[in-house]
């Protein structure tokens, strides 16, 4: 079983829709959870950084973590064409620095105008 599983998509939705992106993981030692956005041939851009279970909201983005189910989600409200990108879930075992991040394979999202 892979450490982090993410549906690769592609996912195509109309502008203004609510988008739900998800990842599952197998290692219960993961404590810190992240979502990155990556445009084609660019570096990953950190969107959300959360610790343990619960919700975190930032503008149109909401990150949700359910450690009991080993399941994390990213919701995008009022989606825009500029949100079209690949979204990477990521996690690590420790919040202390120099801890490696394990990435999902990414979900390709397309927002249709």
Partner 1 sequence: EPEVTQTPSHQVTQMGQEVILRCVPISNHLYFYWYRQILGQKVEFLVSFYNNEISEKSEIFDDQFSVERPDGSNFTLKIRSTKLEDSAMYFCAISKERNEQFFGPGTRLTVL
CB of 18 to partner 1, least distance (A): 25
CB of 39 to partner 1, least distance (A): 10
Q: Which residues bind partner 1 (CB under 8 A)?
A: 32, 34, 36, 41-46, 49, 88, 90, 92, 94-106
CB of 87 to partner 1, least distance (A): 12
Q: Which residues contact 89 (CB under 8 A, 6 or more apart)?
A: 4, 6, 21, 22, 23, 33, 34, 35, 72, 74, 103, 104
* DSSP classification of residue 80: -
Nearer to partner 1, 16 or 54 (CB): 54
Show the tokens assigned to 95: 């919040």
Nearer to partner 1, 106 or 109 (CB): 106
Nearer to partner 1, 14 or 98 (CB): 98
d(CA 90, CA 72): 10
């Amino acid at each position: 079983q892979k450490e982090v599983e993410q549906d690769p998509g592609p996912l195509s939705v109309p502008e203004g829709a609510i988008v739900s992106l998800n990842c599952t993981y197998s290692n219960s030692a993961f404590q810190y959870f992240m979502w990155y956005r990556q445009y084609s041939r660019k570096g990953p851009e950190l969107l959300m950084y959360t610790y343990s279970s619960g919700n975190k909201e930032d503008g149109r983005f909401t990150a949700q973590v359910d450690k009991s189910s080993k399941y994390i989600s990213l919701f995008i409200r009022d989606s825009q064409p500029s949100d079209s990108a690949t979204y990477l879930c990521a996690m690590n075992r420790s919040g202390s620095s120099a801890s490696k991040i394990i990435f999902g394979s990414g979900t390709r999202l397309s927002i249709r105008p």
